[in-house]
């Protein structure tokens, strides 16, 4: 694949302008505790943490308290198996206490940065504070040659996403804004992109002529885990579908990039979102697991969905008429994520037993979690004179024991200026535009039993094209 000269220049520019400091707003919060500190520890173990790490928070902590907090975080995530790496991380820490609305906080941050000229500002804070911090960074002169790392959700609807993009772009250039979706840092997700375009056998069948439907399931067997207040503001459609599952759809549906470089990938993914048909109420089923209303922070009569299933169409030459079924939920039967690309049946039944097995024709299956795998289902003749057979899976299990965690990968990339695994303004807004018509309208939310696969109404949604594929969780043979 021929490289675009501009992409090469941009790539070289990014390498030359690696960040020389990391600022973590919300350093005493839950996200930093669970994800960021373990990622920084992993980076230290790999020799990739060579800059000061400055935490900013309202909490009036001492540096010693922050260091202790970091050690607790790393122990909770696993174990401390490299004392020199831990010592290196702790030695890099600094702390600034202050209110994000107070200009004095940003003056103190500027002083703490010292000679650093290319800081990366990580906003591990509630979305309601994004605009405040971004504006104050600009006013304090802390955005020059800097970049900002923004956690999802990036907006809560199309209007707020546009407003936030406008504010962010008034302070930072687009290539200096790193919108994190940790799902894109997973090895199995990146394998979708690689598998599609590194193998020529898929292209002839990867279209409306051969694909009958596509299913994507992301299920969790646990509830909101004390995050009831967050979920009351967000819900499953905003929390998972609009970002995680839409990103998977884009990787599956995109056209081949025109050149090597993440700019080309971003462009093709954005085109997928722009081609998606806007959702209508009849396209969506909302569910809520029994017991959700008893969670801390949840309203007694809450109608927030903890489960969502939808039917989606992509109005493009390649995918016109092919239904895409997406579902995700909490307190379901298993914790797993899978994609099932079901192929059309042969145009003529030459053999009596060649009808779809259990309603399922040949398919390609991507296991995304808990492990990474790819399987192709095909019919194979049994031994004997009769032309009868069975559907079997050709199964590839990909176990990588020393792979990077998503946050380590994404944080390392953001610090290096590599935007390949981050989302851009046009893609974010196009994705919100798809679900915007169904976000805040009256709807029925169906109860479902914890440990099930969601409300039965979701089965009716897919009935015209078969049934939901429930991820296979038994131990599979290599």
C-alpha to C-alpha distance for 406 and 71, rounded to whole angstroms: 20
Q: What is the mean pLDDT of residues 187-203?
A: 90
Residue 200: closest CA among 38, 1, 55, 336 = 1
pLDDT mean over 264-277? 94
Residue 211 has pLDDT above 90, yes or no: yes
H-type alpha helices, 46-123: 63-77, 83-92, 103-113
- Please say whether the beta carbons of 350 and 381 come within 8 A: no
Q: Does the structure show a pLDDT above 70 at 475?
A: no
Note whether 248 and 189 are within 8 A (CB): yes
DSSP 110-148: HHHHTT--SEEEEE-S-GGGHHHHHHHHHHTT--TT-EE
- What gap in Å lies between CA 280 and CA 383, rounded to an integer? 50
Per-residue pLDDT tens for 74-105?
999 888 999 999 999 999 999 999 999 999 99
- Residues 197-225 have a mean pLDDT of 95
| Rounded Cα gap, residues 158 and 312, in angstroms | 18
Give yes or no for residue 367 having a pLDDT over 80: yes
Of residues 161 and 184, which shows the higher confidence score?
Answer: 161
- Comparing 29-38, 58-67, 163-172, 414-423, the range with the smallest average pLDDT is 414-423
Q: Quote the Cα angle for 59-63-68, to 5°.
A: 90
Q: What local confidence, expressed as pLDDT, does residue 10 receive? A: 34
Task: Give me the active site residues, please.
Answer: 244
Whether residue 153 has a cis bond before it, omega within 30° of 0: yes
- pTM recorded for the entire structure: 0.89
Judged against a pLDDT cut of 80, whether residue 192 lies above it is answered with yes
Q: How high does pLDDT run on average in the chain?
A: 90
| Per-residue pLDDT band at 15 (split at 50, 70, 90) | very low
């Amino acid at each position: 694949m021929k490289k675009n000269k501009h992409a090469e220049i941009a790539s070289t520019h990014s390498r030359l302008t690696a960040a020389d400091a990391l600022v973590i707003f919300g350093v005493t919060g839950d996200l930093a505790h669970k994800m960021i500190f373990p990622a920084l520890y992993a980076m230290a173990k790999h020799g990739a943490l060579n800059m000061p790490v400055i935490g900013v928070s309202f909490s009036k902590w001492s540096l010693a308290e922050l260091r202790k907090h970091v050690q607790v975080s790393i122990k909770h995530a696993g174990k401390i198996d490299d004392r020199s790496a831990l010592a290196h991380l702790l030695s890099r820490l600094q702390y600034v206490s202050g209110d994000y609305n107070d200009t004095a906080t940003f003056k103190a941050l500027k002083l703490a940065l010292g000679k650093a000229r290319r800081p990366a500002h990580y906003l591990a804070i509630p979305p309601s504070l994004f605009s405040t911090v971004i504006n104050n960074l600009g006013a304090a002169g802390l955005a020059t040659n800097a970049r900002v790392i923004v956690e999802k959700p990036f907006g809560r609807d199309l209007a707020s996403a546009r407003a936030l993009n406008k504010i962010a772009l008034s302070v930072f250039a687009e290539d200096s804004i790193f919108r994190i979706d940790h799902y894109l840092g997973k090895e199995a997700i990146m394998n979708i992109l690689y598998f599609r375009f590194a193998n020529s056998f898929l292209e002839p069948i990867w279209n409306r002529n051969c694909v009958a439907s596509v299913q994507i399931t992301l299920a969790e067997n646990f509830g909101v885990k004390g995050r009831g207040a967050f979920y009351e503001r967000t819900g499953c459609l905003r929390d998972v579908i609009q970002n995680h599952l839409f990103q998977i759809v884009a990787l599956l549906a995109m056209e081949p990039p025109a050149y090597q470089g993440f700019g080309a990938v971003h462009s093709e993914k954005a085109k997928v979102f722009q081609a998606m048909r806007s959702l209508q109420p009849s396209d969506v089923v909302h569910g809520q697991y029994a017991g959700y209303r008893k969670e801390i922070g949840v309203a007694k009569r809450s109608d927030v969905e903890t489960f969502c299933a939808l039917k989606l169409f992509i109005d493009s030459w390649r995918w016109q008429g092919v239904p895409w079924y997406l579902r995700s939920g909490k307190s379901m039967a298993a914790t797993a994520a899978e994609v099932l690309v079901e192929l059309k049946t042969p145009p003529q039944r030459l053999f009596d037993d060649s009808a779809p097995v259990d309603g399922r024709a040949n398919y390609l299956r991507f296991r995304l979690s808990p492990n990474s795998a790819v399987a192709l289902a095909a019919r194979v003749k049994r031994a004997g004179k009769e032309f009868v057979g069975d559907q079997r899976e050709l199964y590839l299990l990909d176990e990588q024991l020393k792979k990077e965690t998503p946050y380590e990968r994404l944080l390392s990339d953001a610090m290096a200026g590599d935007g390949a695994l981050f989302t851009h303004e046009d893609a974010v807004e196009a994705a919100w535009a798809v679900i915007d018509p169904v976000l805040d309208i009256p709807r029925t939310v169906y109860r479902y039993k914890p440990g099930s696969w969601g409300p039965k109404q979701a089965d009716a949604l897919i009935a015209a094209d078969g049934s939901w594929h429930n991820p296979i969780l038994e131990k599979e043979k290599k």
